[in-house]
Structure 1
């Protein structure tokens, strides 16, 4: 079950919005101030933040910026506020907010925004898990195997790699086979696709 963390100083909004989200099947945690969200232990559940622009103490925009220092607490953010201006909207969206809703907002619009944010979080987590797997697999390779992987990612042929690394083509093929085994793929195309999907193909592996 996805979790929506609702941060809003208005009790009526917290109750009404929380009830709407709960009825739609979400687990809801509510907070009157931004700091309360950081007090609880971070969870590893898929979800999003439904954040008010105007909060006592640290406002929504400053809180959004501060969350970058606490990766365990980061979630896709939807701003929900009664008083918005163009500058705040632009700043929030440029900083990575998924949506910016102005109250009053109808239930379907709100739920659609939450659904999109949750789906984004699911994709982000899946990609992170994939990248973690790829990086741990690469870490288990020998130095030459990592160089072979780096060369393959750059489109080099076995013959070219053999010359560059001072080994035979047979050795390069054996290294490539070991790399593919570690990554759990059966073809060169599969391996390249995996590296691209995991976004772990930038900057080399050596």
Structure 2
């Protein structure tokens, strides 16, 4: 269990008290924080979705179903990774949920290790996504510190132009280009052209 996993809340939404208790015990025994809810309405009214979380939803529940709850969260732009717990008769619905963005589904009675594997995969995915976001924020912050001329030079450097070509195109001396280039490398925290190219690609990536 990584330290990152301890920052993730596992939300269990199931009308079966025994299932809620079993999953909660399993999650806590493996280092996760866990909150349980008796139905979808209870979840929508009381869950705090401002921190990293994974949902474990029963498909069939009184009132709003697990699938309807999942759709409601998507409508609210709250993209929570969800594992559905389902009976054999609900497999077609569970498959359709995956097509609509759910993480996966497991059949009742489920194997503890199978459920844990799904949760661990979700946490690892969120961790990697957060790391990419941090890298992008860092790259954008560094880019914002470049002057207009440094940005020009950087673009031409990343495009593969030699200093003398850049100097000719910008109508400045090669020494001036070398100074701007050194400033770019320093502000971007890069020691090589390859690092600079990667940093620019990260800043412009879609995450």
TM-score, normalised to structure 2, is 0.77
- 2:115 corresponds to which of 110, 116, 125: 110
Equivalent in the alignment of 1:25: 31
Is 1:78 the counterpart of 2:49? The answer is: no
Structure-2 change in CA distance of 1:4 and 1:148 (3 Å): farther
3-state secondary structure, aligned to 1:84: helix
Query: Can you give the 5+ residue segments of structure 1 that lack an aligned partner in the other structure?
Result: none
1:42 maps to what in 2?
A: 49
CA distance in structure 1 between the aligned counterparts of 2:58 and 2:112, rounded to whole angstroms = 17
* Residue among 196, 199, 204 paired with 1:201: 204
Number of the residue aligned with 1:133: 138
The 3 A distance-change label for structure 1 pair 81 and 90 is closer
Note the alpha carbon deviations across 1:156-179, whole angstroms, 9 max, x for none. Answer: 443444444444433333333223
What secondary structure does 2:134 align onto?
A: helix
- Classify 1:22/1:31 alpha carbon distance in 2 versus 1 (closer, same or farther; 3 Å): same
Report how far residue 128 of structure 1 moved.
1.0
C-alpha displacement of 1:109: 0.7
Aligned residues: 198
**Structure-2 change in CA distance of 1:123 and 1:70 (3 Å):** farther
Give 1:33 shift: 3.1
Report what 2:155 is aligned to.
Answer: 150
1:170 to 175, 189, 199: 175
Give CA-to-partner distance per residue, 1:71-124, whole Å, 9 cap, x none.
6x53432222224233x3443323333322222211111111111111111111
Residue 13 (structure 1) aligns with: 19
Q: 1:35 Cα deviation (Å)?
A: 4.7
State the structure with more CA Rg: 2
CA distance 1:141–1:105, shift in 2 (3 Å): same
For 1:182 and 1:76, the matched residues in 2 are separated by 37
Structure 1's 91 and 151: CA in aligned 2 closer, same or farther, altered over 3 A? farther
Of residues 122-131 and 74-83 in structure 1, the stretch that sits farther from structure 2 once superposed is 74-83
TM-score w.r.t. structure 1 length? 0.77
RMSD: 2.9
Match in the other structure for 1:51: 57
Higher mean displacement: 155-164 or 26-35 = 155-164
* Partner Cα distance (2:149, 2:62) in 1: 56
